[in-house]
Structure 1
Amino acid sequence: MITVAFHKQDRIALGVKTNKGILDVQAAAAKDSEWRGVPATVEALLAGGVESRQLLARLTDAVYGEDSLFHPEEELAFAPAVPAPSKIICVGLNYKKHADECNMAYPATPILFSKFANALAGHQEDVPIPAASQKVDYEAELAIVIGQTASSVSKEEALSYVYGYCSANDVSARDLQFTTSQWLLGKTCDKFCPIGPYLVSAEEVGDPDQLQVRTYVNGELRQNSNTSDMIFSCPEIISYISQHMTLNPGDVILTGTPEGVITGFPAEQQVWLKDGDVVTVEIEKLGQLTNTFRNA
């Protein structure tokens, strides 16, 4: 199943991607009382487990002939594909070739940092360039979305706790990031975590450690790699984090970025993101996430 979150009046609504467009779940469920239990938000979908997903699939099939319930994607104002995670956990320096381009040793254990909810942004949403930064960078990343409460899980069982995956951009203000040894300041500026446009359930994706990852800046290919280059695999990341904190449905894990970021270029070739730049993150099976950068 492929879902989206979109702005509808004063709230964020749940949609299902189909060949006819995006199904407005709330509008469809309102047609008949038998659909009263259908999840109408991303949060309800994730909390409801397999039962909620099956019910949503049955609703989609039942109303497929009613064209008025479906919207063209270009008419939607996308919200973050996961609008309200309790945690956004990021893994740093997790691709071999990215570590190589930064002349840094491969970490012995995952390097973890966090972003906060203010950093979330949706597909096609403008990302402000902070006035305090002159070195804003892109980072294409596979995002894992947790579907079941996970605590101290093994690597072997870790993927069974995943609901699905998204494309994400771990936007980073490098000058702020490296002001101190703590990366937080440069990582969680407003809208520095675009995620989407789709939330794709795990069975549609298959092996998350075999996905092509690309980034384009104004149409120019900058990153071109595969999640197989990760130092710590998706199961290893989930298991490691769960040994130290409980993961809840809807929690988002950004798994690191491959080579090709601006900070990996020689100093004389570093041209940082500027007003009007359009960045597209494309991950195999997860669609294209596009954002325009604007001076704050």
Structure 2
Amino acid sequence: MRLTTLRRDGETQAGRVADGEVVLLPYRDVGELLASGADWRERAAEPTSPSVPLAEADFAPLTPHPEKIICVGVNYASHIAEVGLPTPEHLTIFAKYSRSLIGAYDDIVLPPQSRAVDWEVELGVVIGSPVRHADAEEALAAVAGYTIVNDVSMRDWQLRTSQFLQGKTFEASTPVGPFLVTPDEVDHARALDMTCAVDDTVMQKAGTDELLFPVGEIIAYVSSIITLVPGDLIATGTPAGIGAARKPPVFLAAGQTLRTAISGLGEQANRCVAG
């Protein structure tokens, strides 16, 4: 199953993607659908009307208002090597706020206060049922589906202090979506190809099978700290190829388009505009 959240008439609405159409569901967004009960899959599969052509869809952030956005850092050996950090013994985690989220085809407004806006393709995980003190198997059972996240980062703000949230959660900077794809369609995203390109130049290319801490371990670890609830979003980390690690560094500029794709999950295309 493939779900999405669209903008319609100044509001948002969840939908199920099927046969080139988005079948509209009676929920404001995918997060509200997931929170509607353990039978959300059955609810999402019910025949409803109307529908809109997929080609005309205006994609909102997949889960516009998650209770939590958990991000994982330094989770690919290639990225650890390019930034010169030791291999972590434990997960590196930080948070974002929902105001940072944008849709899969929305513009990225480059903030005037940053001169170092960078890209990070990441596998996104959306939680479908409450999970606390889980082992890895129980953790995977709590996954509603997978999506694409680009953890667009303002490096000059991120590196101001040892606590780098301030460079990670600028308002309207993080594309999420366009789809939630259920685990059965992508084998729990165990081996999906990932790319991130600026215009036509591929900057990052890797596979989700390169994660140091895989999805089940990530969810289990976080669930030992706090309860994860339906609609929560986890970004699992980025591979090598970030702009800040290049010599000389390369960052996003107005007029460029950031293109992010994960096989089986779709793609994003976000035009960069001056703020």
Pairwise TM-score range, normalised by the shorter structure = over 0.9
Q: Deviations over 1:3-42 (max 9, x none)?
A: 111111131111111113212234xxxxxxxxxxxx5532
1:122 counterpart letter in structure 2: G
In structure 2, what residue type is equivalent to 1:4? T
Aligned: 1:232 with 2:232: no
Give the drift of 1:49: 4.2
Cα distance in 1 for residues equivalent to 2:87 and 2:269: 30
1:153 aligns with 2:153: no
Q: What is the correspondence of 1:156-235 to structure 2 with a 5 Å cutoff? A: 156-235=137-216
State whether residues 74 and 92 of structure 2, in contact with CA within 8 Å, keep that contact through their aligned partners in structure 1. Answer: yes
Counterpart for residue 252 of structure 1? 233
Write out per-residue CA displacement over residues 185-222 of structure 1, whole angstroms, 9 at most, x where no aligned residue. 11000122210011111222213231111111102111
Tell me, what secondary structure is at the counterpart of 2:66?
A: coil
Aligned pair count? 275
Q: Cα offset for 1:275?
A: 0.5
Which consecutive residues of structure 2, in runs of 5 or more, have no partner in the other structure?
Answer: none
- For the residue of structure 2 that corresponds to 1:131, the secondary structure is coil
Q: What is the aligned-residue identity percentage?
A: 36
Q: 1:290 Cα shift?
A: 1.4
Q: What amino acid maps onto 1:272 in structure 2?
A: F
What corresponds to 2:51 in structure 1?
A: 70
Matched to 1:178, the amino acid is L
Contact 2:157–2:166 (CA<8 Å) still a contact in 1? yes
- Pairing of 1:90-109 with structure 2 (within 5 A): 90-109=71-90
Structure 2 residue aligned with 1:289: 268
Secondary structure (helix, strand or coil) at the match of 2:146 reads strand
Equivalent residue for 1:280?
Answer: 259
| CA-CA distance at 1:73 after TM superposition | 2.6
Counterpart residue number, 1:47: 35
Contact 2:259 2:269 in 1 (8 A): yes
Asked whether the 8 Å contact 2:244–2:250 carries over to 1, the reply is no
Partner of 1:59, secondary structure, is coil
Higher Rg of the two aligned structures: 1
Residue type of the partner of 1:282? Answer: A
CA distance in 2, matches of 1:295, 1:96: 33
1 CA distance for matches of 2:51 and 2:167? 39
For 1:20 and 1:176, the matched residues in 2 are separated by: 41
Partners in 1 of 2:273 and 2:187 — Cα distance?
36
3-state DSSP class of the match of 1:157?
helix
Answer whether contact 2:20 2:55 (CA < 8 A) is retained: no
State the Cα RMSD in Å.
1.4
Q: 1:41 to 1:124 in 2, by over 3 A?
A: closer
The code of the aligned residue for 1:102 comes to V
Q: Within 1, Cα distance between the matches of 2:239 and 2:229? A: 27
Q: Secondary structure at the match of 1:118?
A: helix
User: TM-score, normalised on structure 2?
Assistant: 0.96
AA partner of residue 134 (structure 1):
R
Q: Which position in structure 2 is the counterpart of 1:271?
A: 250
Q: Which residue of 2 aligns with 1:7?
A: 7
Alpha-carbon distance between aligned partners in 2 of 1:231 and 1:213, rounded to the nearest angstrom: 15
- For residue 43 of structure 1, report the CA deviation from its aligned partner: 2.8
More helix by share: 1
Helix, strand or coil: the match of 1:44? helix
Q: Secondary structure at the match of 1:206?
A: helix
Structure 1 residue 50, shift from structure 2 partner: 4.7
